[in-house]
Structure 1
Amino acid sequence: MPAPSEPVHAGATVDAERFARIAHGVRTRSLPKAEWTHGAHLVFAVSLIDEHGLAGAEAAAPPLIRAYNEATGGVNDDKNGYHETLTVFFLRRVARFIEATPDALAPELATMLLASPLARSDYPLSFYSKALLFSVEARRDWTPPDLKPMDADD
């Protein structure tokens, strides 16, 4: 695995090198686990959408995230690891964010995203009740929000 780098959190600046490090690190399962923060998840979402579009990102993300989790000692079960609803929710919200800023390059988009409400780890809770979001059903399969619709403004 590469030498550790400063983890990406809300408000961080993402240059091209940092962007590539995260995108490549998740794909090759070489990103140090301590760097797989919520911010890194968002950077990875931008990279997938930039490369594959939303539909392609929704198809590519599950196996990549599951494999990364397992490679770094994690498990993917009903309580830990890959969460389908959170993944799809963030991919769709990130795609919406990107559509509003069509001329920005991917690292610039990631930086702007990390300065947005989506960078808050509790962001989905304005759309989902805790009971629904943290249910086994939502972890396993895409589950629409129960508090406000996906296309609602922040």
Structure 2
Amino acid sequence: MTDHRPRLFDTDAAVRHVGIGLLKRTLPRPEWTHEAHLAATTWLVVERPDIDLDADLRGIISRYNESVGGVNDATQGYHHTITCCFLTAVRDHVRESEGQGLAQCVNALLMSPRGARDWPLRFYSRERLFSVEARLGWVAPDLAASD
């Protein structure tokens, strides 16, 4: 796995800004970084339990991508398997971080191995993870996790 130095969030409000911007499709495209994906997902898990992320996260991200001129197809935009993988990581991290403030929780996730952009490659070969099948739908991991 790569050594990563993520952009951290100074305040809970900064995390909320990303999450609300995703939902309202007002977040400027340059702010939609890997860190923002994890921050928005953490905010959704913690503060928006009314949203069924298993059913709705694909549409939320896809609609946001389209609103900033992006395309969701077999080669670009929304990636279902990566989203599902990180959603599981966020849920696990939130459960383990109960009692932390929102920014503190997000920053701890970003500094952990689970927060690394290439974290799913612990479970997937590159070929499988970056396949059209994995982008468009869920595919099971083909590698065993090494702890």
> Which TM-score applies when normalising by structure 1?
0.84
| Residue 105 of structure 1, CA deviation | 2.6
Identity of aligned residues (%): 37
Could you tell me how far apart the structure 1 residues matched to 2:25 and 2:48 are? 19
| Residue 39 of structure 1, CA deviation | 0.3
| 1:147 equivalent in alignment to 2:143 | yes
Could you tell me how far apart the structure 2 residues matched to 1:14 and 1:85 are? 29
Q: Secondary structure at the match of 2:27?
A: coil
| Residue 97 of structure 1, CA deviation | 1.2
Contact 1:13–1:111 (8 Å) recurs in 2: yes
Contact 1:84–1:140 (8 Å) recurs in 2: yes
Paired amino acid for 1:133: L
| 1:71 equivalent in alignment to 2:67 | yes
Q: State the Cα deviation string for residues 70-89 of structure 1 (Å, max 9, x = none).
A: 00010000000011101110
| 1:42 equivalent in alignment to 2:38 | yes
Aligned-residue RMSD, C-alpha: 1.8
Paired amino acid for 2:47: E
Contact 2:62–2:72 (8 Å) recurs in 1: yes
Q: Which protein has greater RCO, CA pairs closer than 8 Å, 6+ apart?
A: 2
Contact 2:58–2:78 (8 Å) recurs in 1: yes
Contact 2:12–2:101 (8 Å) recurs in 1: no
| 1:27 equivalent in alignment to 2:23 | yes
Could you tell me how far apart the structure 2 residues matched to 1:45 and 1:58 are? 12
Q: Secondary structure at the match of 2:44?
A: helix
**1:1-154 matched pairs, under 5 angstroms:** 10=6, 12-53=8-49, 56-148=52-144, 153=147
| Residue 148 of structure 1, CA deviation | 2.0
Could you tell me how far apart the structure 1 residues matched to 2:55 and 2:40 are? 14
Count how many residue pairs are aligned between Structure 1 and Structure 2: 142
Could you tell me how far apart the structure 2 residues matched to 1:105 and 1:119 are? 17
- Unaligned ranges ≥5, structure 1: 1-8
Paired amino acid for 1:15: T
Q: Secondary structure at the match of 2:138?
A: coil
| Residue 67 of structure 1, CA deviation | 0.5
Contact 1:22–1:43 (8 Å) recurs in 2: yes
Runs of 4+ off more than 6 Å? none
Contact 2:9–2:15 (8 Å) recurs in 1: no
| Residue 63 of structure 1, CA deviation | 0.8
